[in-house]
Amino acid sequence: MNRQRLFECMEKSGLDYLLLDSLENVSYVSGMGIPVPYGAMFAYGGGMPLGYGIVSAKDQQVWLIISDSYKEYATHASADRMYLFSHYDHFRKRNGDENLKLLLERLLDVPDGKRIGIEVHSCPALVYQILTEKGFLIQEAEPVMCYTRKVKTAEELEKIRISVAIEDCGQNRLLQYAREFNGETDFEMWSGITQAMNEKAGKVARIVGELATGKNAEIRTGLGGPDGSRVNPGDMGRMDISIRYHGYWCDCTNTVVFGRKPDERQMEYFKIVEEAYEAAKSKLYPGNALCDPVKAEAQAYEKYGMKTQVYTGHQIGCGVNEPGRIVCYEDEVIVPGMVVCIEPQQYGPEGSGIGVRLEKVIEITDKGPVELNQFCWGHLT
């Protein structure tokens, strides 16, 4: 976490405290990869977040508040203080809401009129009620957190690079399936891909994404599979996959042709999308606006009579898709330390089985864009 940047932004915004509850923001301020909520612990907690982060401008400190069920995950936490609340027990009835309420009331026992930033789209009603009863003046925390998280620290970059290296293993396994194709189904390939990533991670990692093959390759909505389809030589395959490791994400996409070289029509789409990727990447320099890569992508398509299909890209970090995004209406200035993904894509007509998307994680440095992913594009192997 960039502490200096966060506390300076809080001061400018007139905030005395932040109370954060989202997975992304609590992971960011605490250094702990808060687990994705599911299962008995989350259900018995009534669907409430089981981790919170309080940031105190006066104390220049971060306080991590988590369920005691999460304490084994907190070994790498960098928060200044950690507090546990009990919400679930296998053999005794617990009132998690009341335990959390008592803890928050004790930690936030301050005079009326203090300003606190909350995440208005996710803050539980119970927490909001506590804050209003204690006389806090409530503001939206999102501007402060977006500004702070935009520029990554060296420690954050290292965590992202680890996620990138794990994901490269999965993308390289896909390339191997394409080169050495032996009639596998998309389920069989997905299994081998995720196994390669888990082996690199040394544990079962949080992996989400799609592997769209054959006729599904022309579907751009993220519903393309795997679905058990039998793959044939010459079919295209597009894999957009993301991994969360120690609280930080990687997100990338490659497209391949299984069992043979791309045919003329497939190669045409590959080259157009690669050209658009390079055009967008060429605008990822400090001082440019986030909309500049979008314009460059659109210009690359114009000569082929094509239009941009979806947004051009996004930032990435504790969230897989962070603001500000690389979209036509975003005029935020690009600065060193940002980490982004660009993902140009084009799709053939219905029945063609053609769809190409190319995406890598890119660090913005003083000298411009640097790709962090090391895998090769599918049509170049």
For position 130, what pLDDT does the model report?
92
pLDDT score recorded for residue 165: 98
Total number of residues shown for the chain: 381
- Strand residue runs (E) in the chain: 17-20, 51-56, 61-67, 81-85, 115-118, 137-140, 206-213, 236-245, 248-257, 313-315, 322-326, 339-342, 345-347, 355-357, 360-365, 368-371
pLDDT confidence tier of residue 276, bands split at 50, 70 and 90: very high
Please give the average per-residue pLDDT across 82-87, as a whole number: 88
Query: Does the pLDDT of residue 45 top 90, yes or no?
Result: no
- Give the model's confidence band at 220: pLDDT under 50 very low, under 70 low, under 90 confident, else very high: confident
Contact 298, 326 (CB under 8 A): no
User: In this predicted structure, what is the pLDDT of residue 113?
Assistant: 79
The pLDDT confidence band at residue 95, using thresholds 50, 70 and 90, is: confident
Which pLDDT score, from 0 to 100, does residue 38 have? Answer: 77
On whether both 170 and 82 belong to a single domain, the answer is no
Confidence of residue 108 (pLDDT cuts 50, 70, 90): confident
- The answer on 352 and 208 residing in a single domain is yes
- Domain of residue 68, residue span: 3-149
Which of 179, 237, 183 minimizes the C-alpha distance to 357? 237
Backbone angles phi, psi at 275, to 5 degrees: -60, -40
DSSP assignment letter at 217: G
Confidence of residue 227 (pLDDT cuts 50, 70, 90): very high
pLDDT surpasses 90 at 365: yes
The pLDDT of 264-270, averaged and rounded, is 98
What average pLDDT is seen over the chain? 94
Mark whether 186 and 121 lie in a shared domain: no
Query: Where is the domain boundary, 104, 129, 149?
Result: 149
Query: Whose structure tokens read 């500049």?
Result: 292
- State in Å, rounded, how far the first CA of the chain is from the last one: 38
**Kind plus residue range of the DSSP H or E element containing 273:** helix 264-281
CATH number at residue 187: 3.90.230.10
pLDDT band at 105 (very low <50, low <70, confident <90, very high): confident
Residues 187 and 140 occupy one common structural domain: no
Specify the pTM. 0.93
d(CA 325, CA 331): 10
Sign of CA dihedral 145, 344, 363, 162: positive
At residue 98, the pLDDT reads: 86
- Read off the pLDDT band of 275 (50, 70, 90): very high
111 and 65 share a domain?
yes
| pLDDT beyond 80 at 44 | no
Token pair recorded at residue 18: 């932040």
- Give the pLDDT mean for 20-34: 94
The yes-or-no verdict on residue 46 having pLDDT over 90 is: no
Q: List Cβ neighbours of 224 (8 Å cut-off, separation of 6 or more).
A: 210, 211, 212, 213, 216, 217, 238, 355
Predicted pLDDT at 71? 84
Give me the pLDDT at residue 111, please: 78
The answer on 165 and 75 residing in a single domain is no
The total domain count for the chain is 2
Whether residues 333 and 374 share a domain: the answer is yes
**Are 176 and 264 found together in one domain?**
yes
With beta carbons less than 8 A apart as the criterion, state whether 363 and 369 touch.
Answer: yes
Residue 294 predicted with pLDDT over 90 = yes
> Using 50, 70 and 90 to split pLDDT, how confident is the model at 381?
confident
Question: Is the same domain home to 352 and 317?
Answer: yes
Of all helices (H) and strands (E), which one includes residue 198? helix 186-201
CATH of the domain at 53: 3.40.350.10
Lookup result for tokens 């960039």? 2
Phi and psi (nearest 5°) for 100?
-65, -45
What Cα–Cα distance (Å) separates residue 275 from each residue in 51, 254, 269, 281? 44, 15, 10, 10
Neighbouring C-alpha atoms within 13 Å toward the C-beta of 366: 0
Distance CA 50, CA 27 (A): 12
C-alpha dist (Å) from residue 164 to 24, 167, 306, 313, 357: 18, 5, 31, 17, 18
Q: Are residues 225 and 91 in the same domain?
A: no
Report how far residue 53's alpha carbon sits from residue 15's, in angstroms, rounded to the nearest whole number.
15
pLDDT of amino acid 34: 87
Q: In what order do the strands lie in the sheet with 236-245?
A: 206-213, 236-245, 248-257
Q: 38-47, 51-60, 74-83, 160-169 — which is least confidently predicted?
A: 38-47
Please state the φ and ψ torsions of residue 376, each to the nearest 5 degrees: -90, 150
Q: Rounded CA gap, 145 and 25, in Å?
A: 7
DSSP, residue by residue, 202-213: TS--EEEEEEEE
Residue range 255-280: mean pLDDT, rounded = 98
Reported as a pLDDT band with limits 50, 70 and 90, residue 22 is very high
* Per-residue model confidence (pLDDT) at position 70: 85
> What pLDDT shows up at residue 145?
98
Position 50 confidence tier, pLDDT thresholds 50, 70, 90: confident
